[in-house]
Amino acid sequence: MKVSFVFRWAPWGLIPFLVFSLAAPSGAGERLLLGLPQLIRMAIERSPEIAAAQSELAGAKSDLAQADAAYYPQFDTTALVGPVNDTRRPLVAGTRIIDPSADFAVGGFGRADMTFTQPLYTFGKLSNRRQAAARGVTAVQAGLPKKRAEVALRVKELYYGLVLAQAGIEAAGDAAAYFDEARERMDRLLKAGSPNVMESDLYRIDTYRADTARSRAEALKGVNTAYFALKSLTGLPIGTNFDPVDKMLSAESARLGDLAECIRKALAERPDFRQLEEALQAQKWSVEGAVSDRYPSFFASLAGSFAGAPGRETFHNPYFPDEFNHAMGGVVAGVLWHFDFGILKARVDKERAAYEKLVHTKAMAELGIPIEVAQQFYEAEEWRAAVDAYDQAASSSRKWIVAALTNFDMGVGTADDMLRGIERYGQSRGKYLEALFGYNMSLARLEYAMGVESW
């Protein structure tokens, strides 16, 4: 499920809110207290993507089991039944062979042919494919952490959005309280006939307050939809309610370390890069297996054949085998060598092309992963600076409001100065929340790009 976050602002920029394509939750009951690590574990446990990856792993292990079993003997048997002419043993008179059988008599026969074949030496047909299958299992296993990281990143996005929207509701409440206080003071001074307030100032406050109410409703929508999305991902029943452990996103500075160290860690530990390494090795062995198909295979075989036809007399003669009455067996050694005019060569070329494709894919990853890590690294630094700047701006604008309210009461301040202070506070507070979300998400994406499991 892909969730997109869209920040919208009231005209004076009170708070950002989150837009999802889901419905709001309903139901009441005992509320659980769940943190981000718990929600991630719950989502991973029920993720259909991870279940599909587990099924893929089971398939890869089956391929390995087939490659291992190819070293053991293989047994083939063919059983036949059908009609055959009844005959008697022929008579030999001089140089003539006389058939004393009736002109037309039909009976039945049964026959079973069995072969045990043991490979002896195959020029790598078995060993190369066994190595390819083993590497294939390792490659699929290496991809499982990537699936878990993808699920974790989606849960983080929703969780941070939920906490942000709840903080937005609180910010809207703070702004509404400031407007209520300003309106009360204006109304009192207006009744007292103060020259620094006009009746139109009350209308201006009502206009701003309407924007605040709308922003609060939109923030509430973000809470409900993020809440429902988290319940869907984690498999919580509709009637089960929970609250996030965090009441505000973290503003603590994370130790990002050196960019070169982050890139080195990503290239060494990122699961999809390790999966690519294993897939490359698996394909290398597949190429060797295709090459070995061009060489002979030596084998030993135990063969046996049994046949019987009740209506036919047995004729024992080493020069004339009886296909319908016999019992024979023996051990042989042999060689199987297949020749064609280009089919095997084309298969080798195809496997080599697949190998070259993986080589180039790895080269692209070696170029792309450092860029991705650097992008998230610098984005985290940018959002960190924005958090500090807008936190200071929100603090200063709050002081501006207090000073403007005091000056307004003393008759030396204007309503316009007071309203502009509240407006700037709303903008700074909203941008601070946006910066908090961006900072925490950039850290989450940086950990994902580095292949770090942080839950």
Q: Domain of 169: which CATH number?
A: 1.20.1600.10
CA atoms of 423 and 430, how far apart (whole Å)? 11
User: Which of 4-13, 132-141, 387-396, 402-411 has the least mean pLDDT?
Assistant: 4-13
3-class DSSP assignment, residue 146: helix
Q: Which residues of 99-111 are buried (b: 16+ CB within 10 A; e: fewer)?
A: eeeeeeeeeebeb
pLDDT of 201 above 90:
no
Closest CA to 147 of 60, 40, 244: 40
pLDDT, tens only, 321-334: 888 999 999 999 99
Residue 185 covered by a domain: yes
Closest CA to 334 of 307, 302, 308: 302
For residue 190, what pLDDT is reported? 73
Task: For residue 379, give both structure tokens.
Answer: 């984005």
pLDDT tops 50 at residue 19: no
* Spatial separation of the C-alpha atoms in residues 380 and 419, rounded to whole Å: 34
Q: Which two tokens stand for residue 401?
A: 């409001």
> Which is more confidently placed, 114 or 177?
114
Confidence check: pLDDT of 63 > 90: yes
| Residue 14 is assigned to a structural domain of this protein | no
Query: Does the reported pTM lie above 0.85?
Result: no
- Give the pLDDT of residue 22: 34
**What is the number of domains present in the chain?**
1
pLDDT band at 298 (very low <50, low <70, confident <90, very high): very high
Identify the weakest region by mean pLDDT among 85-89, 258-262, 268-272, 383-387: 85-89
Average pLDDT, the chain: 84
Q: What is the mean predicted confidence (pLDDT) over 304-315?
A: 89
Please say whether the beta carbons of 437 and 157 come within 8 A.
no
Of 22-26, 40-44, 94-98, 220-224, the poorest mean pLDDT is in 22-26
In a domain, 266, yes or no: yes
* Mean pLDDT value across residues 330-359: 94
- Quickly list H helices, 235-342: 259-269, 271-292
Which residue's structure tokens are 């919208």?
8
Angle subtended at Cα 206 by Cα 200 and Cα 212, rounded to the nearest 5 degrees: 145
Residue-wise pLDDT for 26-54, tens only, equals 444 578 889 999 999 999 999 999 999 99
- Asked if 12 and 423 touch (Cβ cutoff 8 Å), the reply is yes
Residue 229: domain span: 31-450
In a domain, 20, yes or no: no
Tokens read off for 87: 């005959």
Tell me how far apart the alpha carbons of residues 80 and 326 are, in angstroms, rounded to a whole number: 14
Confidence of residue 346 (pLDDT cuts 50, 70, 90): very high
Grade residue 10 by pLDDT with cuts at 50, 70 and 90. Answer: very low
Does residue 137 lie in a domain region? yes
Domain presence at residue 432: yes
347 assigned to some structural domain: yes
Give me the pLDDT at residue 370, please.
94
Contact 285, 135 (CB under 8 A): yes
* Angle subtended by helix axes 48-69 and 125-191, to nearest 10: 170
Supply φ then ψ for residue 246, to 5 degrees. -80, 135
In this predicted structure, the answer to whether residue 442 has a pLDDT above a threshold of 60 is yes
Whether residue 4 lies inside any domain: the answer is no
Q: Is 95 helix (H, G, I), strand (E, B) or coil?
A: coil
